[in-house]
Amino acid sequence: MKNYIKRGLIALGLSAVSMASQAQVAVIMGPSAAPVSKDQLANIYLGRSFDLKPVDLPEASPLREQFYKKATDRDQSQIKATWSRIVFTGKGQAPIILPDAAAVKKAVISDPKAIGYIDKGAVDGSVKVVFSLD
Other C-beta atoms closer than 10 Å to the C-beta of 35 total 12
Q: Each residue's pLDDT tens digit in the chain (134 positions)?
A: 455 444 544 444 444 344 445 679 999 999 999 999 999 999 999 999 999 999 999 999 999 999 999 999 999 999 999 999 999 999 999 999 999 999 999 999 999 999 999 999 999 999 999 999 98
Tell me how far apart the 2 most distant CA atoms of the chain are, in Å: 63
Distance CA 78, CA 80 (A): 5
Cα-to-chain-centroid distance, residue 101: 11
Q: Return the H-helix or E-strand segment holding 86.
A: helix 76-88
Other C-beta atoms closer than 10 Å to the C-beta of 94 total 15
Name the DSSP letter for residue 30: -
pTM for the model stands at: 0.82
